[in-house]
Each structure stands twice: as structure tokens, then as C-alpha cells.
Amino acid sequence: MNENWNFKKPGSNEEIIDVPHTWNAFDGQDGGNDYFRGECIYRKAFEAPEIDFNNEEVYIQFAGVNASAKVFINNTEVGHHNGGYSTFRINISRHIKKENLLEVRVDNGVNDYVYPQMADFTFYGGIYRDVDLIVVSKEHFDLDFYGGPGIKVTPSVEGGTGIVRVQTYYDGPGEVHVSIFDRDGKKVAEGTGKDSTLSIPNVRLWDGVKDPYLYKAMAVLMVSNNPTDTVETRFGVRTFEIDPKKGFFLNGRPYPLRGVSRHQDWLGIGNALKKEHHEKDMEIIKEVGANAIRLAHYQHDQYFYDLCDEAGLIVWAEIPYISSHMNNGMDNTISQMKELIAQNYNHPSIITWGISNEITICTKDKKSMYKNHMILNDLCHEWDPTRPTTLAVYAACSIFNPTVHITDVVGYNFYLGWYVPGKWLNDAFLKLFHLFFPNRCLCYSEYGAEGMPNLHSKRGRRGDHSEEYQAKYHEYMLKCFKRYPYLWGTFLWNMFDFGSDARDQGGVPGRNHKGLVTFDRKIKKDSFYLYKAWWTDDPFVYICGRRYRYRNEKVTTVKVYSNQPVVELYNNGVLVETKKADKVFVFKVPLEDENNILAVAGDSKDSITINKVQKFYKPYRLKKSKSKNWVNL
């Protein structure tokens, strides 16, 4: 149902569009005053499918509409949904005719009951994921349970055997037949019952990026010996644990989580991504060598969770309960959490449910906030006792604040060395927290620094937004984390630059520039290759500062990143120096008028050109302005 919609924005002419679509693809990324938040209308004429109304039903499924939606069929309201990031379905069987008009009123306007309302990212409005029409037998697995797939798979391991509980959502007559297939399509187990437990002998584990092996569970509903519905889902069999002193374990072995965070938007596209955009993001994340990802700050597209399953990435999944608690929003946090769990329970990549992010930053009613957290924490344990809960704590929140200790494990968002001076404060915090709470599992849920590929400095100072300082900051953080193996994970903020309409920093408003990769995915910043040097094994070498071409120095510093032990550096064909180092190689190079720099590490090579100039190249310096971040700190 993605093609040929009529779209109407207030004050504008109606236009023909396809979904996925957002009306904020540009005004939500430029930091201007034209960012529109309000109600827009989508309409689509469609012909009813050929169905037997006595024995079949029709649902309409929306994979993502931000943030609230009212759905009408032939001018009759048939349903509504509050929450911009989850799938919802509506049974429209009683309302459709041969020719129909579908109308969806979509609203991303300001209110006090739907999350998020305050956060460091753009709240793109629109029908920004797929729309499908689903025809099913009247005797079918449940399509109304919080957008879930109708099948729930809970695997465990006993010795070398996989024990798989398969639950199906269905209350009517008939019998459910369940089968499990391996990756090659071979049936490895079968049974009957709406709630059945099956065994997989010699089970192959879902083993992270090393071997993300997936099985498939299929349930067939038989009524009067006739199959009336089938549902299937992929799943993986794995074990994990989080130890406060030793960190994260996968399948019984230490597995330090080297994580990045991701927002779901692209430059000029907003959040209306297609499969190729998700695939490109995954390709880049795999290239940098991450083995974990925090999908912030809301439920992401099912297709991306599928990609995480296939790639073996460990996932932190969360709802957008963020920044400021709203007393009228408690019901919405509960419904969004139920949808998150119901729709994503079967993904082996997910290991924790995140219940909030930086919620203390602008919250005044502490009692109501605390109650909301307790309800969500208990809900997660009730709906999924197999995964721990977590939350991401605002940097200024005291380690003794009771909110910090609600969930099973916890993460802190810290930008020490960026928003405040002193990278060493990261070490001080980690030692302090572990001293007071040695049995509390801790991670870094966010850390980072802005880096603009057009801004450069020979020294790189905090606040200059240069590519050089961003790299210097991350060099420190990677060494810092190595000193504290009890961290259960670290999640870099952010993998990609993203839209944040309330920001004006780095000379380009409307965006957060902490990504290792630019918003359009075209430039991998120097810091990207630092992480690649730490996190990957395939030999490579990379010369930093390739966009810092014009330099007014007699002798310049050339930095090289590599995962190889030795690097040779040449200038204009002459060997400058051979160095042994760990990841970061620093060379002093006397400059000629033009310098063709070549780095060699084994069979890997990289080259850049540097030109010597008389004066500092002014475009490299950030122009002074009334820079602000999203909370004007």
C-alpha cells in the first residue's frame, strides 16, 4: 500500500507521494524556524481485495507513523495509535467496500501525553515506514496483541541440546502444529500445541559476529484438519550473562561489548528510510568492527533488527521515555514498552530492554517519575524474564540517586572532555562508581565529541569542533575503557551524524555532529578509522588529516591509524621514519611546497597530499556564533 498517496500539509497544495514519507526531511534538519510540527493528512483510494467475507478478515498494518495517527475508512474512524515507532494494525473488515478511501491524520505536534516531546533529535512527522493490507482467515493467530507476530519463541540450552518453547497467540478451536528448521531448511524438531516445548539436538548457537546462526520456527493452525493460518519467525539459541566485575559473557565466554549508537535518519531523507538505507548503515557498522549497538532512542524498523540478528550484533533496545517525565504520559510509556517487547521478543540480538534515557535532565516530579520507572521495570520482568532491564543516566545525575538503581544493569551518558574539560574525569568517575557499587553492572551508554570534516587544527582543542580533537578525544576513551574490564559495554555516541533541529553547533545548525560518519554517509571521519584499528583484524592503514590539506607549518604532525604493528611513512618518495606502535602512529614531517604522503603497513597502503601555505587557512576555523545545544547548556 506504499504507492500513490495524496498528501496535504496545512498551508500547502496537495501532492502525490509514496510512503515511506516524512514532511520534515528538510525543515527538521536545518535548524531554522520553519520546522513544522502539527497534523497532516494522507489519503489513498484502494480497491478491496478479493476475499470471502464469511471466512476471511482484512487488516491494515502500519509499520511506523510518527507520532499519533487517526485512521479512517470511507469517512469512518476505525482506529487510532499513539507512539511513532512501533507497528500497529486495525481490523477493517466491517468497513471496506469494493472501492474505498483510506485517510490517515498524522500528528507530530506538541502535547503532554505521547513520548518523546523533548530530546536531542528531530521528531519527524509522517507515515515513514511501510503500509500493508493483510488478508487472513477468520481463524488466525492473533494480529491484535500489541502489533506482535502471533508467535513467541523462548530458547535455552541444556548441555548440547537447545530447549525451545514456542507459544502462539490463538484462543479459538483447532490444533497448532509447530516445526523448527535449521538455516538450510531442514526440519530439526516438531510438535503440537499452542504452547509447546521442543528439543534441538546438537544445537548450533547464535554466537555473535563470529557465528550468528539462526533457526526458524513455524506454527500452522489446523481447524477441522485444514490449515487456516501460518506464522513463522527466526530465532537464535544463545546464553548470556552480565557480571559486575568481569563484564559481558556470551555463551559462557567473555565477550566485551564494543558498541555504537544509531539514529534512524539520513540527510535529505529524514526517517523515511528504505531497505537500502538500513543495509548501508549495517555495512558501515560492520566495517568499523562493532559487535554491539544501542538502537536509540526508540523502536527501530523490524528490518534493521533482522539485520542485527544476521550480523550477530548485540542490541540494546529502548522506548523514547526521555529527558522529561510527563505525568500524563505514563500510559504511553507502558503501551510503547508492551509494543517493543511484543514485537521484538524473538530477536536473539536483543539482550536488554531500555526503559528511559536521561530522564532526570528536566524532570521536576521525582515521585511520579520513580513510580513510572518501577512500573516499566516490573512490566519488562513480567513480559520477558529472560532479559535484564537497563536505563541510560544523565551525566549530572548522582550515583546515589535511587533512579540509578532501579533496573538490573545501568549505563551512564558521559561527555567528560567535551561538554566539560578533563578527559581524566572519566577515569575518576569509573573508579568512584565501582568503589561505592562494586556489585552494580555498569556501562558507558553514551560518550562522544563533535567533529566536523571541514574544520581542522594542528593541536585540536575541546570546543573547536575539529576533526582532530574528535580523534584525540576518542583515542583517550578507547584506552580508558581498556583500563576497566568490568564495564559490561560501551556505546559510542554516535555512529552517524543525525538531525536535531534544536541544535546550532559546528557551523551547521539542525544537526548533531558526533558521528564517526557524516549525515549523508559519504565521509568516514578520522575517528572512524581509529575504531577500525581497535576493533578489526583485517590489515589496513589510514592516514589522518586528509581534509586538513593546507598547513602553514615548517614541520607538521602526521598521524596514522593501523591495526598492524609497524608503519613506514614516506614523503615524496623518501622514507621519513619507520615506527612500531599500538594503533596510533605519530610522525613529524618537514614540509615541502607539495607533499605526497604515503603510509605502508605490510601489504596495506594509504596516501594523502598536503600543501604548505604561508598563513593559516581560515575556512578550517569555526566562526564565532551563538552556538547552542538542544538544552542550551
Selection from 222, 226, 163 nearest residue 196 by Cα: 163
The answer on pLDDT for 470 being more than 70 is: yes
CATH (domain of 470): 3.20.20.80
- Identity of the residue numbered 510: G
Domain boundary among 235, 253, 287: 235
The reply to whether 403 and 482 lie within a common domain is yes
* Percent of the residues in the chain that have a pLDDT greater than 70, as a whole number: 99
| CA–CA distance, 524 with 516 (Å, rounded to integer) | 6
Active-site pick, 358, 450, 468, 568: 358
Q: 388-430: per-residue pLDDT in tens?
A: 999 999 999 999 999 999 999 999 999 999 999 999 999 999 9
| CA–CA distance, 527 with 474 (Å, rounded to integer) | 7
Does residue 244 sit within a domain? no
- The total domain count for the chain is 4
The reply to whether 521 and 417 lie within a common domain is yes
| CA–CA distance, 394 with 361 (Å, rounded to integer) | 6
Beta bridge partners of 322: 357
The reply to whether 400 and 441 lie within a common domain is yes
Contact 392, 358 (CB under 8 A): yes
What pLDDT was estimated at residue 630? 52
The answer on pLDDT for 569 being more than 90 is: yes
CATH (domain of 37): 2.60.120.260
**How many other CB atoms are there within 10 angstroms of residue 514's CB atom?**
27
Does residue 255 sit within a domain? no
The reply to whether 9 and 121 lie within a common domain is yes
Does residue 591 sit within a domain? yes
Write out 500-527 in H/E/C secondary structure.
EEEEEECCEEEEECCCCECCCCCCECHH
The answer on pLDDT for 626 being more than 80 is: no
| CA–CA distance, 327 with 330 (Å, rounded to integer) | 6
The reply to whether 128 and 187 lie within a common domain is no
Does residue 577 sit within a domain? yes
Looking up cell 484438519, which residue turns up?
225
What pLDDT was estimated at residue 32? 87
The reply to whether 432 and 466 lie within a common domain is yes
The answer on pLDDT for 101 being more than 60 is: yes
Summary mean pLDDT of the chain: 96
Looking up cell 506504499, which residue turns up?
2
What pLDDT was estimated at residue 632? 46
- Would residue 358 show up in a list of annotated catalytic residues for this protein? yes
The answer on pLDDT for 501 being more than 60 is: yes
Continuous H helices in 548-608: none
Q: 256-287: per-residue pLDDT in tens?
A: 999 999 999 999 999 999 999 999 999 999 99
What pLDDT was estimated at residue 551? 97
The answer on pLDDT for 631 being more than 80 is: no
What pLDDT was estimated at residue 468? 98
The reply to whether 19 and 157 lie within a common domain is no
Helices 526-535 and 275-288, axial angle in degrees (round to 10): 60
The reply to whether 498 and 556 lie within a common domain is no
The reply to whether 351 and 479 lie within a common domain is yes
Domain boundary among 504, 536, 568: 536
Q: Which domain holds residue 156?
A: 151-235
Does residue 453 sit within a domain? yes
Mean pLDDT (whole number) for 525-539:
98
Mean pLDDT (whole number) for 310-325:
97
- Higher pLDDT: 628 or 337? It is 337
The answer on pLDDT for 629 being more than 80 is: no
The reply to whether 435 and 582 lie within a common domain is no
| CA–CA distance, 35 with 125 (Å, rounded to integer) | 10
Mean pLDDT (whole number) for 550-564:
97
Contact 170, 143 (CB under 8 A): no
Q: Which pLDDT band holds residue 188 (cuts at 50, 70, 90)?
A: very high
Sign of CA dihedral 71, 76, 78, 81: positive
Does residue 339 sit within a domain? yes
**502 vs 34, 132, 268, 426, 466, CA distance in Å?**
12, 34, 17, 27, 21
The answer on pLDDT for 57 being more than 60 is: yes
Looking up cell 555504537, which residue turns up?
260
Angle made by CA atoms 278, 281, 283, in degrees to the nearest 5:
110
Contact 595, 611 (CB under 8 A): yes
The reply to whether 300 and 172 lie within a common domain is no
Domain boundary among 137, 168, 197: 137
Selection from 97, 12, 441 nearest residue 247 by Cα: 441
Mean pLDDT (whole number) for 592-606:
98
Does residue 143 sit within a domain? no
Does residue 12 sit within a domain? yes
Q: 191-245: per-residue pLDDT in tens?
A: 999 999 999 999 999 999 999 999 999 999 999 999 999 999 999 999 999 999 9
The reply to whether 25 and 93 lie within a common domain is yes
Contact 373, 391 (CB under 8 A): yes
Mean pLDDT (whole number) for 563-588:
98
**How many other CB atoms are there within 10 angstroms of residue 528's CB atom?**
22
What pLDDT was estimated at residue 364? 87
What pLDDT was estimated at residue 300? 98
Cis peptide before 244 (omega within 30 of 0): no
- Higher pLDDT: 364 or 346? It is 346
CATH (domain of 185): 2.60.40.10
How large is the C-alpha radius of gyration of the chain?
A: 26
